[in-house]
């Protein structure tokens, strides 16, 4: 099966290069970033051994869709999408906090609640909630990164106390995060979906806070189907959801959670095809548009040419 596993592009004015779990990142003239969404897939902070065809295209195009949709609400880094796998935008100084907004008690927040926690990141939760119940109002639960890459919950008070953020900046970031969550929730409702929780990342350019990275993608967000939510919740059953959670669930069922000594189960062709189909379903359900599969023929050369054309035009203007 064709897939974009990695890139090694020769780009105009390139300063340096970095490779994340999923994206290849090119620094152009210390002014622009070229983000190439590969077909690599990660879970439990590990890149799985086989790629998922079209996954990178889905992630890039969903993120691009929402960056365009919300650009008048919150300034963001995007300048151009020259290829289905690529977004180019401003290079910002990243803020070292992920801003997680939760509208429902699901995932990490439910696991803490089930263990008896009633305060998450300084936000008090009422008694008597069940898994996947709506919260009284969306809450902000920021995280920072540990040295080993895992997320660590932190309260807004601690962000200020530890001098990670200034009070006025934190207030602006919280406002932006909840504004984006409201916009994402409103759009999801038009698509028969519920935006359950999501994360946002921000950076600073010319002393201005901007939204960076991806937004409202299945890798960074959790969605429930709206039309069956009440019925399923009433029966206290697991919600139908659109997210990468189905991959994590398959790994857990096959004895892998990223712990020492565990081996990633064999990713059969049937499993990979199924994951591809799920990601395409995610794209079409979230955006409301038909997914058009790009050609993988000479994909690196095609990407390189498209990106270099944009860079040349950008600096010739």
Residues 295-312: tens digit of each pLDDT: 999 999 999 999 999 999
Separation between Cα atoms, residue 3 and residue 238, nearest integer Å: 32
CA 239 to chain centre: 20
Taking residues 280-294, report their average pLDDT: 95
pLDDT at 150 exceeding the cut of 80:
no
Q: Give the pLDDT score at 259.
A: 86
pLDDT at 147 exceeding the cut of 70:
no
Q: Which three-class secondary structure state does DSSP give residue 141?
A: coil
Rounded to the nearest integer, the mean pLDDT of the chain is 94
Q: Give the pLDDT score at 242.
A: 82
Give 98's contacts (C-beta < 8 A, 6+ positions apart).
142, 143, 144, 145, 151, 199, 200, 201
pLDDT at 186 exceeding the cut of 90:
yes
Q: Count H helices, E strands: the chain? A: 8, 18
Give 2's contacts (C-beta < 8 A, 6+ positions apart).
53, 296, 299
Tens-place pLDDT, residues 8-35: 999 999 999 999 999 999 999 999 999 9
Tens-place pLDDT, residues 83-139: 999 999 999 999 999 999 999 999 899 999 999 999 999 999 999 999 999 999 999
Separation between Cα atoms, residue 246 and residue 242, nearest integer Å: 8
Separation between Cα atoms, residue 292 and residue 295, nearest integer Å: 10
Separation between Cα atoms, residue 243 and residue 278, nearest integer Å: 9
In terms of pTM, does the model score above 0.85? yes
Model confidence at 274, in pLDDT bands (50, 70, 90)? very high
Separation between Cα atoms, residue 197 and residue 69, nearest integer Å: 18
Domains of the chain: residue spans and CATH: 14-92+268-316 (3.30.200.20), 99-242 (3.30.470.20)
């Amino acid at each position: 099966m064709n897939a974009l596993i990695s890139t090694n592009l020769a780009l105009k004015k390139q300063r340096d290069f970095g490779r994340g779990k999923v994206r290849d990142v090119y620094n152009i003239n210390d002014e622009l970033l070229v983000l190439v969404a590969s077909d690599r897939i990660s879970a439990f902070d590990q890149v799985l051994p086989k790629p998922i065809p079209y996954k990178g295209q889905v992630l890039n195009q969903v993120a691009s869709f929402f960056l365009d949709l919300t650009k008048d609400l919150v300034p963001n880094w995007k300048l151009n999408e020259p290829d289905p796998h690529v977004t180019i935008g401003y290079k910002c100084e990243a803020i070292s906090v992920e801003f997680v907004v939760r509208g429902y008690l699901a995932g990490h927040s439910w696991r803490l609640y089930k263990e008896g926690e009633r305060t998450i990141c300084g936000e008090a939760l009422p008694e008597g909630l069940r898994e996947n119940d709506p919260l009284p109002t969306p809450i902000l639960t920021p995280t920072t990164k540990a040295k080993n890459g895992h997320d660590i919950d932190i309260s807004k008070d601690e962000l200020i106390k530890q001098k990670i953020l200034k009070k006025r900046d934190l207030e602006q970031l919280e406002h932006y995060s909840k504004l984006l969550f409201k916009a994402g929730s409103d759009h999801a409702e038009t698509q028969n979906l519920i935006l359950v929780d999501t994360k946002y990342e921000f950076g600073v350019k010319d002393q201005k806070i901007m939204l960076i990275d991806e937004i409202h993608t299945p890798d960074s967000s959790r969605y429930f189907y709206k039309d069956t939510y009440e019925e399923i919740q009433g029966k206290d059953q697991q919600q139908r959801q659109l997210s990468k959670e189905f991959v994590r669930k398959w790994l857990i069922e096959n004895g892998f959670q990223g712990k020492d000594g565990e081996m990633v189960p064999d990713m059969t062709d049937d499993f990979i095809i199924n994951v591809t189909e799920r990601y395409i379903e995610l794209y079409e359900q979230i955006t409301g548009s038909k997914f058009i599969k790009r050609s993988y023929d000479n994909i690196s050369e095609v990407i390189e040419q498209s990106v270099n054309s944009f860079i040349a035009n950008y600096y010739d203007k």
